[in-house]
Structure 1
Amino acid sequence: MKALIALFTASTLALGANVALARDLGPDEALKLRDAGTIQSFEKLNEAAVAKHPGAKVEETELEEEYGRYVYQVELRDEKGQQWDLELDAKTGEVLKDHQDD
């Protein structure tokens, strides 16, 4: 029984640690990071995302800090109405993920 409780406690702590490693950044904090040159401008990041899907429109964006890295998430809708989810490294503009949303 003690082993089961220890396993449950360890699993709960591990899940909590993973959640704590990613956090949403508010607009004020995001602007400070941009102004300090820590991340690229939102216009450049949006342009990098749209370059992957020419003609698409930006529908939603979000900046997160994940594992010490700033990740810019972008939802696009292309000319055919298909939605795309992209993640970019907010410092370099590198596309980290690009997949079609179901």
Structure 2
Amino acid sequence: MNSLTAVFATAALTLTAGIAHARDIGPDEALKLRDTGTIESFEKLNAAALALHPGSKAEDTELEEEYGRYVYQIEVRDAQGVQWDVELDATNAQVLKNQRDD
């Protein structure tokens, strides 16, 4: 019984540790980061994501801090109606992920 408890405790700590490395950035903090030049403007980040899929539209955006890096996440729907998950390094608009959302 003790070894089973230890397994569950280890699993819980591992999951919690993974969650602790990503933090949602609220609107006020996001604007401060943009205004200080820490991250690119949201217009530039949106344009970089939309350029990957011509004719697409932004549906949802989020800014997170992951492992000390600011990541801009945006869901876009292309002209054919396909949804894509795009992640950009918010400091320079470099594409980190461009994956079809199934």
TM-score, normalised to structure 2, is 0.93
Gaps of 5+ in 1: none
Aligned length: 102
What residue number does 1:31 align with?
31
Q: 1:40 offset after TM fit, Å?
A: 0.5
Q: Residues 66-93 of structure 1, C-alpha deviation per residue, up to 9 Å, x if partnerless? A: 1111110011111111111100010111
What residue number does 1:89 align with?
89
Q: 1:59 offset after TM fit, Å?
A: 1.2
Q: How far, CA to CA, are the matches of 1:27 and 1:57 in structure 2?
A: 21
- Whether 1:14 and 2:10 are equivalent positions in the alignment is no
What residue number does 1:43 align with?
43
What residue number does 2:2 align with?
2
Q: Which amino acid aligns with 1:66?
A: E
Q: How far, CA to CA, are the matches of 1:42 and 1:4 in structure 2?
A: 48
- Whether 1:74 and 2:74 are equivalent positions in the alignment is yes
Q: How far, CA to CA, are the matches of 1:11 and 1:74 in structure 2?
A: 30
Q: 1:5 offset after TM fit, Å?
A: 2.2
- RMSD between superposed Cα atoms in Å: 1.1
Q: How far, CA to CA, are the matches of 2:39 and 2:27 in structure 1?
A: 13
Q: Which amino acid aligns with 1:32?
A: K
Q: How far, CA to CA, are the matches of 2:6 and 2:101 in structure 1?
A: 38
Q: Residues 30-78 of structure 1, C-alpha deviation per residue, up to 9 Å, x if partnerless? A: 0011111111100000111011111111111110111111110011111
Q: Which SS does the other structure have where 1:29 is aligned?
A: helix
TM-score, normalised to structure 1, is 0.93
Gaps of 5+ in 2: none
Q: Which amino acid aligns with 1:76?
A: V
